[in-house]
Each structure stands twice: as C-alpha cells, then as structure tokens.
Amino acid sequence: MNTQLSKPTQEGASIRELARRFGVSAPVLYELARQDRLPGCRRIGEKRFVVHVPSFQQWLESGGRAE
C-alpha cells in the first residue's frame, strides 16, 4: 500500500493575487465579492476574501457569467 501523500496544491488566492495573475481589476473583484457575486469566494473575517482559483478561472473563461 502506498502511503505517500501528494504535495498539496494552492487552490485558494486573495483577490489581489487573482487580479495580478489574471490581469483583472482588483476593485471590481472586491465589489463583486462584497455583493456575493464572485464564484468560489469566501469571506474570512470582516475584510479578507479567499477565492477558489479553479472556480474563478472557470467563471472568467465563461465570460464572467453567473454560475
């Protein structure tokens, strides 16, 4: 039996990181997050957001249409 664990992947990112990686506006992403309209986004505390990158990427590739 193989007991080795695979290396974890980073599937979550901050909004600033997403803006930088995908060339989109951070203020627009923050506004969508505050309106609960950013797929894969979860609020951590009062101000911090973490976004599931594969969900965001799929949404972006679909033209930013609703889930």
User: Is 2 a domain residue?
Assistant: no
Q: Any residues with CB less than 8 A from the CB of 10 and at least 6 apart, and which?
A: 53
Amino acid at 55: S
Q: pLDDT per residue over 1-11, tens digit each?
A: 555 555 556 79
- Mean pLDDT, residues 11-27: 96
User: What is the mean pLDDT of the segment spanning 10-20?
Assistant: 94
Long-range contacts of 45-50 (CB under 8 A, 24+ apart): 48/14, 49/14, 49/15, 50/12, 50/13, 50/14
Q: What is the mean pLDDT of residues 20-24?
A: 95
Q: Going by C-beta distance under 8 Å and a sequence separation of 6 or more, which residues neighbour residue 21?
A: 13
Report the number of distinct structural domains present in the chain. Answer: 1
| Model pLDDT, residue 23 | 95
Residue 42: what residue type? R
42 in any annotated domain? yes
Tell me the per-residue pLDDT of 35-63, one tens digit each, with 9 for 90 and over: 999 999 999 998 899 999 999 999 999 99
pLDDT at site 25 = 96
Within a domain: 24: yes
For 36, the domain range is 12-61
